[in-house]
Structure 1
Amino acid sequence: MGEHDVGSGMTRRRMLGIGGTLGSMAVTGLSASAAMARRPAVTGALLRSAIPLPPPFQVPLPIPAVLKPVSTAGGADRYEITQREATVEILPGVRTPVWTYEGTFPGPTIESRSGRPVTVTHRNELPVPTVVHLHGGRTPAASDGYPTDLVLPEGWPDPGHGGHHRGHGGHGSGHGGHGSGHGMHHDPRAVVTRLTRDYTFPLEQRPALLWYHDHRMDFTAPAIWRGLAGLQIVRDDAEDALGLPAGRRELPLVIMDRSFAADGGLDYPALDPTLRGRLGVREPYIGGVLGDVILVNGAPWPVHEVDAVRYRLRILNASNARHYELEAVSDDGRRLDLVQVGADQGLLAAPVTHRVLPIAPAERYDVVIDFSGVPVGGRVRVVNRLGSGRTREVMAFRVARKAADGSRIPRVLSGDLPAWRRSDAVRVRDFSFRAGRLHGDHGWVIDGLPFDPARSDVTVGLGEVEVWRLVADVHHPVHLHLVGFRILSRSGRLPLPHDAGLKDTVALRPGESAEIITRFDGYRGRYLFHCHNAEHEDMGMMANLEVV
């Protein structure tokens, strides 16, 4: 089923029961919403660009620059990143203002080693407060990017009473409402800094593809949309020794959709475009904002020249709300195997071969693709089976030459995956992810409650194993901070082939339930779990997780 822009006959939001029936959907629960949803291809509404769009496969695939550390002394790497406005060329010949990490879109990649600590000093020169979260990181709570732990820009008014303020020559106190015209949540535990903040990541974790992005209370979706996202790769010696494609044959692919205004700027349906006051998006888009331009590493429908050998594709869906079903198709109609070697939290135990790979917002998949059977001069398109029209295309590879290939895909990739069993779990919890009410308006809720930073939702003991049962009304990619988990079942049946390995984000489809198992180890403190549809997240679909 394709997409509809708002206003066309049977629109996406009416199909999803968003809008007038949103309240009743929350009351009547899953049966009605599942019937209304009929497993649509996407949850959200399409925002159409008001500017002519380029043809696909003209722009070369950019590779994000690797950030250089300012120091590597003392067994730790130190980095500095300035968050600032910049103007970049995304569409050919068009200048687009964006919010950036270090002036680039997406931000620079941080290369790191498992067990070697990284400290990143972020400096906020943007017009609004920011927060940085390393998604997939096993991070102490003080550096995890809790949504109220704001870094205030110069001249931003103090958030008011309560809370406590920390460091870097600032003054002021905690968090008394973050200027939202909606919630005015008070968070006495918020740690607010002015201008700069050090985030320290011990990286005592498996090698994996992580990403860092803004996580500011109520305004995560528009901040990511404007450009605040980048990759951090964790490596170790054991993975390096496997012989997987490496060097220029390892490609990071950050996939995201965007829409463009007539002046070339990024369009986004924020209720308050300054992102200073009222949270949320215009009514048609409360299910999620879907762009009509597919970007990979910040370029529209790019093309990349490859040798006729194996490549390792490290894929991140950094879209706010768009789901993809990716397949690689040669010009003569053959579908190439996508051999999955890694998931959100690193290597699988053994490879899994796919022809079609579904990927929800915030999920990562490591796949190896072999171009050796494609004739020189041939092309392989990466297609999104959930898209229609222009959003059906993602990018293309052009096979330029024959070459030697010393890479391999070992039958055993990793022997260190946790083997938690149901019998290890000290408890089972149930959570529902559904439409609901947020301050008297449309929102998204977990177990009927919109997010409140001052409320304790779930308390777990450090080291305890739990099974969580999650159930959804529409598409909800559910992300847990701090820990990775295994997917035990979907709607009472076996997990799907792409559920292998250790995950930190599980994509729930309309009307679907899933069981996950994890051990809450690592660090004590206050963390989150939430929907990673960024519009849902901003409109209440988060909850507190206390590790004690």
Structure 2
Amino acid sequence: MDRRRMLTLGGLAVGGVAAVSSAVSVSAALKGEDRTAERHAHGDAGGGGTDARTVAAAPLVEPFSVAMPVPPVLRPTYVGSTSDLYQLPVRAGTVEILPGLATPVVGYNGQFVGPTIRARKGRAVALQVTNQLTNPTNVHLHGGFTPAVHDGHPMDFIAPGATRSYAYPNLQHATTLWYHDHSHHAEAEHIYRGLHGFYLIEDDAERALGLPSGQYDIPILLRDALIGADGSLVFDPTNADNRPHILANGKPQPYLRVTGRRYRFRLLNASLHRIFRLRLDRGQLIQIGTDGGLLPAPLAVSEVRLTPGERVEVVVDFAGQPAGTRVVLEDTSGPVIGFDVTGPATDDSRVPDRLIPLPALPAATVTRDVALSFDPSKLAFTVNGKTYDATRVDVQVVNGTTEIWRVTNRDTAFGIHHNFHLHLVQFRLLDRDGVPPAPGEAGWKDTVHVPPGSTVRVQATFSGFTGKYAFHCHFPEHSSLGMMAQFEVVNKTA
């Protein structure tokens, strides 16, 4: 097998949709499981079965010719004394991503970027999800501290036509989370076709800081796609590098009109494979948060790097830019968003020198090793040499204990990148190859980049909920094809 082919296989899924279907059916036959949940949403999603090699790509849109929308905030259907009820249908829809082209998608409320849920710490949310697709789905609150039954376990499906409720206690500090499909084997395609949205938790400590808020606090979902000349979202898991359309909140390299004041941008990488390296062509990025919440202090940074699933919060001050100036958020591949300054504005926000302090880390009592690797002999993505098996518990953790997990990417021969996502908890990155983390990675995290040959050490406390949860690479095409495992939190026995 030549290097280019191996990179294609290792960087994404193995053998394309046919291989996925084959692997699924073989696995089902061997385990005797009901695999109706593995039927992909080709009919609902539009073009799911299309051979990408026969589809001409739509031309790239001139950058900054389309306005960037802000995802609408979902309103509760019922407001109780201590909790709120939200209803969220999952259904097929048609949207305009590229000008003049109709694109079939699968989305929450039929939207390509789902509505934003804004929750309050200590005020519970009940999310009632109705599956209006012809195939199973589910919802995972990425980064959420949730009971196992409400985590969106990869094998916990919502059947077509069914409704189920997820209960989120919202016991975390203010943070930027997101929700997405996590139905095993289908999660990559479902996310690609639009099953993603923001979930923001707010609290009094954050509010007291005086950071930009309201219309000046903007979540931005970044991702890539291959959009065909017919408008279809072309999903080819063997060719991840051929996704040339860069989207921000579902629009290609858009513009956003801003006034001359501070803005808070919550950036999420919802791609399947692309790593963003973001910087401004003028002005400065002030990083204030990571996956799990605000940093102890703001950081002036020249660049932020986001692998799939990671979030970062930044403040940009446009006060020094004259009206008519365009400030460009750039990736190494080109422009992402143009911020068009319209003129001066009053600004009562601030970025204080101190944000939210990090607590001292408790002593860890257990250290574990996790190896991420691609097995070319089996064409499989593995965790510690094994592909995912929902009937197997790979790690058992005692409730209330603190552990260090040493995560190594062993895919050095072909330079395959991975990252590591741990459900249930937020962790702290201790070091990367023995070097303390950069300040921008020193806050709470739930997803961390693990480059080829690299080892990261993370520390987490597993306290509060028991049950089975997943850990995996959050390049979704890797986890769909096996790079996922399961841990179980159990109460200590006498």
Shift of 1:418: 3.1
Shift of 1:12: 7.8
Percent identity between matched residues is 43
Shift of 1:74: 3.2
Q: Which residue of 2 aligns with 1:427?
A: 366
Q: Which residue of 2 aligns with 1:294?
A: 246
Alignment of 1:155-166 (within 5 A): none
- Does the C-alpha gap of structure 1 residues 17 and 217 become closer, same or farther in structure 2, counting only changes over 3 Å? closer
1:95 to 102, 105, 118: 102
Shift of 1:14: 4.4
SS of corresponding position for 2:176:
strand
- Pair 1:138-2:77 in alignment: no
- Pair 1:338-2:285 in alignment: yes
* Aligned mates of 1:290, 1:479 — CA distance in 2: 25
2:165 to 198, 209, 213: 198
Please list the CA deviations of residues 203-228 of structure 1 after superposition, one character each: whole Å capped at 9, or x if unmatched: 11111011000000111100000100
* Aligned mates of 1:15, 1:297 — CA distance in 2: 27
SS of corresponding position for 2:273:
coil
TM superposition score normalised by structure 2: 0.87
Q: Is the 8 A contact 1:340 1:365 kept in 2?
A: yes
Q: Which residue of 1 aligns with 2:174?
A: 207
- Does the C-alpha gap of structure 1 residues 534 and 544 become closer, same or farther in structure 2, counting only changes over 3 Å? same
Q: Is the 8 A contact 2:369 2:406 kept in 1?
A: yes
Shift of 1:497: 3.0
* Aligned mates of 1:13, 1:53 — CA distance in 2: 28
Aligned length: 446
* Aligned mates of 1:15, 1:224 — CA distance in 2: 20
Which residue identity lines up with residue 408 of structure 2 in the other structure?
Answer: V
Alignment of 1:348-363 (within 5 A): 348-363=295-310
Q: Which residue of 2 aligns with 1:365?
A: 312
Shift of 1:441: 4.2
Q: Is the 8 A contact 1:290 1:320 kept in 2?
A: no
* Aligned mates of 1:487, 1:66 — CA distance in 2: 32
Q: Is the 8 A contact 2:289 2:295 kept in 1?
A: yes
Q: Which residue of 2 aligns with 1:477?
A: 419
- Does the C-alpha gap of structure 1 residues 508 and 290 become closer, same or farther in structure 2, counting only changes over 3 Å? farther
2:186 to 192, 206, 219: 219
1:518 to 426, 435, 460: 460
Q: Which residue of 2 aligns with 1:394?
A: 336
Shift of 1:510: 1.6
TM superposition score normalised by structure 1: 0.78
Runs of 4+ displaced beyond 4 Å = 9-19, 46-49
Which residue identity lines up with residue 359 of structure 2 in the other structure?
Answer: P
* Aligned mates of 2:10, 2:456 — CA distance in 1: 22
* Aligned mates of 2:6, 2:342 — CA distance in 1: 44
- Pair 1:249-2:201 in alignment: no
Q: Is the 8 A contact 1:49 1:292 kept in 2?
A: no
2:321 to 371, 374, 377: 374
Q: Which residue of 2 aligns with 1:453?
A: 390
SS of corresponding position for 1:137:
coil
Which residue identity lines up with residue 202 of structure 1 in the other structure?
Answer: P
- Pair 1:329-2:281 in alignment: yes
SS of corresponding position for 1:221:
helix
* Aligned mates of 2:205, 2:359 — CA distance in 1: 17
SS of corresponding position for 1:86:
strand
Q: Is the 8 A contact 2:86 2:127 kept in 1?
A: yes
- Does the C-alpha gap of structure 1 residues 13 and 55 become closer, same or farther in structure 2, counting only changes over 3 Å? farther
Q: Is the 8 A contact 2:10 2:374 kept in 1?
A: no
Q: Which residue of 1 aligns with 2:196?
A: 229
Please list the CA deviations of residues 362-411 of structure 1 after superposition, one character each: whole Å capped at 9, or x if unmatched: 001011111122221011111112x2xxxx22111011101122111111
1:85 to 92, 115, 124: 92
SS of corresponding position for 2:444:
coil
* Aligned mates of 2:4, 2:209 — CA distance in 1: 49
